[in-house]
Amino acid sequence: MSSSVSVTRSLRLATSFAVILATTTFAFEKDKPATPPVTVEPPASSAGRFIDAHVHFHACKTGELDKAIAWMTSNNVQRVINYPLAQSRPKNDAERKQMLENYAKHKDRIGRGCVIFPDEVNSVEEAVVILTREKQEGAVVFGEHYGENLKFDDPKNLRLYEACAKVGLPIMFHYSDRTRNMDEKGMPRLENVLKLYTNCMIIAHGDWWRSLPEGSCGRLLQTYTNFYADISCTVGRAGIRRDMERSREFFIKHADKLLFGTDSGWWSFGKSPAPEFALMDELKLPKEVEEKMCRKNAERLFGWTK
Ligand SMILES: [Zn+2]
């Protein structure tokens, strides 16, 4: 996905933000090793196999989250974390009211992300006021955070991270693809942030996975207790299927820090399931590892534990 930002300050949540859905290419599909078909339990009820920690469904109009629930049921997903993008954020108070009603109706199955863009606030304090209200009104995480045209540790990004740390919201970010949340080899700017906000849970997504072969992903997950990654985008971007045995070892080693996610959204209705669903079968992970990745880590992180 790519996006461009235009900010209107008079309406706090009325930002226009064009998001173009990039076609996900599964370059390594052809390299997929021949594996016997794996039987997946069909969804018998809402108690599905997966918590999908990364989706984007519209939520501001009547019935929009009902469509998300239908998608979840057809994909054996019990719960999701739904992140707003610019075009799915509420544009006015009426939309926000409807959005909160929609989430209240599905609060046991759909967790709500909230986001503000770096140019929308001028201070940490300003961000804290907004995010405090978001949390009071049910938001469980900040994101998807695109630092458009910013380095990952740009001061404009830092004030958002600091506000999240103060309010107590985890952060899920889209990582450096040359125009957003940019960083260098070895991810030093991300590491700066992990060191600065050790009490803030930070979740990687996107091109972060490209650093898997050179070892930075594993090093950061192992070093920083506040650091997680969701597995959306791994299939197309990280070469997971090029070396399934090595990938399997990585997933087992970092089982406590990984979240199942697909980056599905309103564009996914009626389409084939995201490749991450099949990946979980192809990896043939130990049951306890799969349970952590597909459910338990998300339950812990987003407050769904009893
Ligand atoms: Zn996303």
Residues paired with 79 in a beta bridge = 51
Q: How far apart are the first and last CA of the chain?
A: 35
Question: Cα 136 from chain centroid?
Answer: 21
| Ligand 1: centre distance to CA 56 (Å) | 6
Residues paired with 171 in a beta bridge = 142, 202
| Ligand 1: centre distance to CA 5 (Å) | 16
| Ligand 1: centre distance to CA 55 (Å) | 6
CA distance 164 to 218: 24
Residues paired with 142 in a beta bridge = 114, 171
Does residue 30 lie in a domain region? no
Predicted confidence at residue 234, as pLDDT, reads: 74
Does residue 209 lie in a domain region? yes
Question: Cα 182 from chain centroid?
Answer: 18
Does residue 281 lie in a domain region? yes
Predicted confidence at residue 34, as pLDDT, reads: 43
* Contact present, 82 and 55 (Cβ < 8 Å): yes
Predicted confidence at residue 243, as pLDDT, reads: 86
Does residue 9 lie in a domain region? no
| Ligand 1: centre distance to CA 122 (Å) | 25
Task: Read off the pTM.
Answer: 0.84
Q: Which domain holds residue 199?
A: 46-301
Predicted confidence at residue 238, as pLDDT, reads: 72
| Ligand 1: centre distance to CA 38 (Å) | 27
What contacts 189, CB < 8 A, 6 or more positions away?
151, 152, 153, 182, 183
Does residue 194 lie in a domain region? yes
Does residue 3 lie in a domain region? no
* Contact present, 275 and 61 (Cβ < 8 Å): no
Provide the domain count of the chain: 1
Instruction: Please write down the long-range contacts of 271-276, taking CB distance under 8 Å and 24 or more positions apart.
Output: 273/75, 274/232, 275/24, 275/26, 275/29, 275/235, 275/236, 276/231, 276/232, 276/234, 276/235
Give whole-number Cα distances, 22 to 17, 58, 89, 228, in Å: 15, 18, 20, 24
| Ligand 1: centre distance to CA 199 (Å) | 24
Predicted confidence at residue 26, as pLDDT, reads: 30
Does residue 14 lie in a domain region? no
| Ligand 1: centre distance to CA 250 (Å) | 22
Residues paired with 151 in a beta bridge = 182
CA distance 109 to 138: 13
Which pLDDT tens digits describe the chain residue by residue (306 residues)?
433 333 334 334 333 333 333 333 333 333 334 444 444 343 444 558 999 999 999 999 999 999 999 999 999 999 999 999 999 999 999 999 999 999 999 999 999 999 999 999 999 999 999 999 999 999 999 999 999 999 999 999 999 999 999 999 999 999 877 899 999 999 999 999 999 999 999 999 988 998 888 999 999 999 999 999 999 977 666 778 888 999 999 999 999 999 999 999 999 999 999 999 999 999 999 999 999 999 999 999 999 876
284: amino acid identity, one letter: K
| Ligand 1: centre distance to CA 36 (Å) | 31
Does residue 28 lie in a domain region? no
Give the CATH number for residue 68: 3.20.20.140
| Ligand 1: centre distance to CA 8 (Å) | 23
Predicted confidence at residue 2, as pLDDT, reads: 36
